[in-house]
Amino acid sequence: MPTRIILDTDTGVDDALAILLAMRSPELHVEAITAVSGNVHVDKCARNILLTLERLDLDAIPDVAKGEAAPLVKPPFIAGEVHGEDGIGGITGLLNPDGSRLYPDPADRLSPVSAVDLILDRIGMYPDEITLIAVGPLTNVARAIIKNPSRMRKLRQIVIMGGVFRVYGNVSPVAEFNIFVDPHAAQVVCDTGIPLIFVPLDVTMQAILTAERITQGAATGGPVAAFVRDCTAHYVDFHRQRRNVDGCFMHDPLAVAVAFRPDLVEMVDARVDVETAGDLTIGMTVADLRPGRLPPAGANARVCVDVNAEAFLTLFTERVLYR
């Protein structure tokens, strides 16, 4: 029986790759994909979800709903330099030889329901069954918890691409983007008692899709692999220039994979909290992960501390690039 999931995203290039992996994994049934402001404004994220789904040429698509445009407390903070002004690697500006758009705007198939209400409704339909995979700032998730905490506690678990524990952050030395954008939302999530799995930079930065693998995939001629090549070009350039990596970090696709292949990672129980006030440390995820530490009082999460990156990359390549 496939695991029912809701995928909450700030689509984003790696979010788009995560959508492709989720849709091409028979272990998962994607109930809904929701958008939240993060990498770019939520309007662009919602468009990018639909544009990504159109590459799969599906008869039916999951419900897609637009969510929160701004964090709970902080002002919006975007990452246009990483994902492109359009949030999908600039491909909305690519043209065919005849001047037509290579990736035209998708059909408007957005749900009339807000992301928060769609999440709550779907959990009500399938209590104790749904895994929520959150790969953007946690604003939608926190708003749903605030609106109906008892309903949200009927989630099976929340898999969070977010946080950093034993390496440097990617927005500040101590903070990862998704948590940094909305630390208050992240703390709301940490306090709910819902089973949490953190998939932090500690493991996602080990999962590098190389430019070579992207090129090899595109050479197969498939439209999905061509889309991956096109939408990752800007993202890979960023990684080459700013991360000294000839490829790109697969943050969000790894979080999707963990939801159905937890064997790909090593996890430890922990109490995770989020700094919401520090001038230098806001957005920091704080946990004692030292080996031999006392069992964490009030453990609220499992944190991924290692990954079989090659096994994950093979899974992604086979399911997304070579089909």
Does the footprint of ligand RIB cover residue 202 (CB under 6 A)? no
Measured between alpha carbons, how far is 178 from 147 in angstroms, rounded to an integer?
Answer: 21
Residue of 39, 92, 232, 276 that binds ligand RIB (CB under 6 A): 39
Binding mask 215-234 for Ca ion (x = CB under 5 A): --------------------
Q: Is 68 in the site for ligand RIB (CB under 6 A)?
A: no
The dihedrals phi and psi of 5, each to the nearest 5 degrees, come to: -130, 155
Mask for 121-160, x = binds ligand RIB (CB under 6 A) = --------------xx------------------------
Which of Ca ion, ligand RIB, none does 106 bind, CB closer than 5 to 8 A by kind?
none
Least Cβ distance, residue 180 to ligand RIB (angstroms): 8
Residue 294: CB atoms within 10 A of its CB come to: 7
Q: Which stretch binds ligand RIB (CB under 6 A): 9-17, 26-34, 182-190, 220-228?
A: 9-17
* Residue given tokens 């290579």 in the structure block: 102
Decide if residue 232 touches ligand RIB (CB under 6 A): no
Residue 304 falls in which region: left (phi positive, over 0), alpha (psi -120 to 50) or beta? beta
CB of 65 to ligand RIB, least distance (A): 18
Are the C-beta atoms of residues 131 and 5 closer than 8 Å to each other?
yes
**DSSP run (H or E) holding 52:** helix 42-54
118/179 with CB nearer Ca ion: 179
Confirm or reject binding of residue 135 to Ca ion (CB under 5 A): yes
For residue 2, give both structure tokens: 């496939």
Type of residue at 108: D
SS3 per residue for 305-320: EEECHHHHHHHHHHHH
Instruction: Based on the shown chain and the rule CB under 6 A, indicate whether residue 178 belongs to the binding site for ligand RIB.
Output: yes
- For position 86 contacting ligand RIB by CB under 6 A, the verdict is no
User: Crossing angle, helix 211-218 and helix 223-242, to 10 degrees?
Assistant: 160
Given a contact cutoff of 8 angstroms between Cβ atoms, the answer to whether 191 and 152 are in contact is: no
**Segment contacting ligand RIB by CB under 6 A, of 8-16, 140-148, 228-236, 287-295:** 8-16
Closer residue to ligand RIB, CB minimum distance, 176 or 230: 176
Backbone torsions φ then ψ of 46, nearest 5 degrees: -65, -45
Candidate residues 4, 8, 12, 13; the one interacting with Ca ion per rule CB under 5 A: 12
End-to-end CA distance of the chain: 23
Contacts of 100 (CB under 8 A, 6+ apart): none
Task: Return the SS3 of 66.
Answer: strand
CB of 252 vs ligand RIB, minimal distance in Å: 5
CB 101 within 8 A of CB 95: yes
User: Nearest approach, Cβ of 19 to Ca ion (angstroms)?
Assistant: 10
CA neighbor of 213 nearest in space, from 105, 56, 318: 318
Q: Which of 5, 25, 38, 276 binds ligand RIB (CB under 6 A)?
A: 38
Q: Does 183 bind Ca ion (CB under 5 A)?
A: no
List interacting residues with ligand RIB (CB under 6 A): 10, 12, 14-15, 38-39, 135-136, 161, 170, 176-178, 251-252
Chain residues binding Ca ion by CB under 5 A are 10, 12, 15, 135-136, 252
